[in-house]
Structure 1
Amino acid sequence: MPKRYVLFTSLSYAYSIFRPLQKAIKQRGDEVAWFLEEGCPDLLDDDEKRLHTIKDVIEYDPLAIFACGNLIYHFLPGIKVSVFHGYPISKRGEKSQAKDDHFAIRGWFDMYCTQGPSSTEYFKTLEQKHGYFKVYETGWCKVDPYFAPYEKQSDKPTILYATTFSKGISSAPLLLDTITALAKTRDWQWRLTFHPKIKDQELLARYRQLASEQNNVEYIDNVRLEDFQQADVMLCDSSSIILEFMLMDKPVVTLRNTNPGPHLLDVNDPQEVEGALETALTRSEALLKQVQDFANHHEAHRDGHNCERILDAVDDFYVHHRNTIKTKPANLLRKFKLRKKLGYWK
């Protein structure tokens, strides 16, 4: 009998994270369905199954439910599996891993599927401390397709601009004039993408206007693998998307990164961006070596089989651990608030 899985989806970035996992599930002859939280845009294709209600999920009765955020409904059936929405890069400048939101333990999950040494080592200490979840180093499901061959379509240098949403860290308000000027004066292609949590719609509208006025600028609602492949350099701030781009052995220019290092070309003033981009486009051997070392520390697996490892880990948990680990904390107040928010009391 086929196994069943549910993809618990809260924000638009989840689609690119979950689709490689969906593909691996189907290749095994198993079944998979999506559950979209209220407010999440429906970007599903016609051949992707959606469960519309909590009752639908309960009746579907999955072996496991995957989430890439920090929350999952505790009353849904199945093993609760965290696969993360990015890498732990301490974008707010945390000096301790314990303060990095990537490592927040809230008592919702049975399993964490870590990506590489930067996440596995600390999560293993958390596993020993708490005892009610298991940690498996699998690699991140989103990046399996990153390591397939591709061809660059344009001979012109292409810059992918991406930014975090965090107030005081996002470069979007600071770089509008700079990107506008460079789009008009340099023979470069631009692709612009913004985190779905950015609230400043007026600012986003100005970037959209730039894209409508300049043939060499494209505004992207949801960044795609193609955008990573076709870009030569990323311009960013402190978003975890930096590391995704570096997995393709490409340099990144940042404005006021909260954790700068030799793997980045970090600048403090928007006027320095143009020169840093020019340097990045030379792809110096020394810089690329730093990029590769940094990426390998965060993503240990580059064989394109992270999704298979995740599914194998679920099977291992089901057979060996689901009835042996400690019971998760009661979390009564959190559970009450969640049920109240949903209006679900069964």
Structure 2
Amino acid sequence: MSTKLAKHYLLYISQNYSYAILRPLQAAILARGDKVAWFLEGDEVNPDYLLPEEVRLMSVNEVVSFNPVAVFYPANIAPTFLPGINVAVFHGFDAGKLDKKGNNDHFKVRNCFDLYCTQGPSTTEPFLALAQQHKHFKVTQTGWCALDSLYSPNDVKPQAKKTILLCSTFSKKLSCAPHLFEKVKALSATGKWQWLVQFHPKMPQEIVTQYKTLTSEYLTFVETDNIIPLLQQADVMVCDTSSVLIMFLLLNKPVVTFNNIAPDSYLLDIDDPDMLEQTIEYALDRPAQLMQKINDFTANTHPYHDGKSSERVLDAVDEVVSGKLNLKRKPFDFFRQFKMRKRLNYWR
């Protein structure tokens, strides 16, 4: 009688929002009878968010001893000197953000990953073209593991008032938060709607402090490592160019954006704070033409609603680990990996 040897997997994070991205993957790993551990890199991730039953590895030496078959990164870069294949699972959707050279940062190949687990056709097709060009990584469309719990049953209770969720990126150039403060202040004071406010963890502290002053029975400022319950609770999102708005659209809910860098017909984009109230009212009516645009967008962005993306990710890992794909060796990026070794203080 043969006994299955448990595979080891590592969840590598450097931001608090990564906990929620990878926990569905952790659940899928454990359900298969395998083992999983976390490695927390840097001082921007809070270890207090770890649950009592979750395993944390404290050093690179412990990671080497753990010997994972795969390391999962919700990040753009990764060390290439750890055991196992490097798997990119993304920290968000393509929001159209450009780097300093005007290139889409979402599709930049940094020679760090062996496998990209893409979310839907809109990301799969560009990465497949890049894989054909570079030939040292595999691309598999799996859906985003972070959304497995988005489609799971929830116990969010209907509210007496409609709920508006305000989210904003931290970039001074792209953030809606400074521009909408006075209007949100005025609207929340009326008690017309219930407001939830949640910002990117890198949001400047002065903006956070400013919005916290609005806390009342009608407005709640939320600091959390898991935004999914907020997405499920809200009826309309107000946002800018943060990729979190895509998660909200995937729930078939309207988004009002302020100065989005690439507004499409599935968004209600405004450039004047005085238009905020009337545009939220329009979004709450869920007009048929807008909702059809949202449906078309979600089908191209993330067509999976079954909550099983994590299982597809693990199946994709198995395919790469099997060694049957004949991938080329990743190019060695000396400077990037030197910086990673310095950051981790690991020189073996």
TM-score by length of 2: 0.94
Q: Secondary structure at the match of 2:195?
A: strand
Name 1:195's counterpart in structure 2: 200
2:264 to 255, 261, 266: 261
SS in 2 for 1:146: coil
Find the aligned partners of 1:184 and 1:57 in 2 and give their Cα distance.
51
Q: Distance in 2 between matches of 1:158 and 1:168?
A: 27
Equivalent position of 1:209 in the other structure: 213
2:15 to 11, 14, 33: 11
Which residue in 2 is equivalent to 1:104? Answer: 108
Matched to 1:257, the amino acid is N
| Matches of 1:321 and 1:176, distance apart in 2 | 55
Q: How many residues align?
A: 340
Residue 321 of structure 1 deviates from its aligned partner by 4.0
Tell me the secondary structure at the aligned position of residue 145 of structure 1. coil
Assess if the C-alpha contact under 8 Å between 1:161 and 1:190 holds in 2: yes
Give the whole-Å Cα distance in 2 for the aligned partners of 1:94 and 1:268.
Answer: 24
**Contact 1:93-1:258 within 8 A present in 2 as well:** no
Which segments of 5 or more consecutive residues in structure 1 lack a partner in the other structure?
A: none
Alignment partner for residue 285 of structure 1, among 285, 288, 291?
288
Letter in 2 for 1:332: F
C-alpha separation between the residues in 1 aligned to 2:324 and 2:111?
A: 17
2: CA distance, partners of 1:134 / 1:94: 27
1:172 aligned residue: 177
What value does the CA root-mean-square deviation take over the aligned residues? 1.6
Given that 1:7 and 1:65 are in contact with CA atoms closer than 8 Å, whether structure 2 keeps it comes out as: yes
Q: What are the residue-to-residue correspondences of 1:173-252 with 2, within 5 Å?
A: 173-198=178-203, 200-211=204-215, 214-222=216-224, 223-252=226-255
AA of the residue aligned to 1:142: A
* Residue identity matched to 2:295: Q
| CA positional deviation for 1:149 | 3.4
Moved over 4 A (4+): 92-96
- Are the equivalent residues in 2 in contact too, given 1:17–1:141 (CA < 8 A)? yes
Q: How does 1:118-137 map to 2 (within 5 A)?
A: 118-137=122-141
Q: For residue 311 of structure 2, what is the aligned residue in structure 1?
A: 308
* SS at structure 1 position matched to 2:11: strand
Q: Distance in 2 between matches of 1:288 and 1:65?
A: 38
Task: Tell me the amino acid that sits aligned with residue 342 of structure 2.
Answer: K
Please name the residue that 1:158 is paired with: 163
Aligned counterpart in structure 2 of residue 89 of structure 1, from 62, 83, 95: 95
Query: What does residue 33 of structure 2 align with?
Result: 29
Q: What is the identity percentage for the equivalent residue pairs of Structure 1 and Structure 2?
A: 44
Shift of 1:300: 2.2
Structure 2 runs not aligned, ≥5 long: none
CA shift digits 1:156-200 (9 cap, x unpaired): 1000110112221111111111111110014211110000122x2
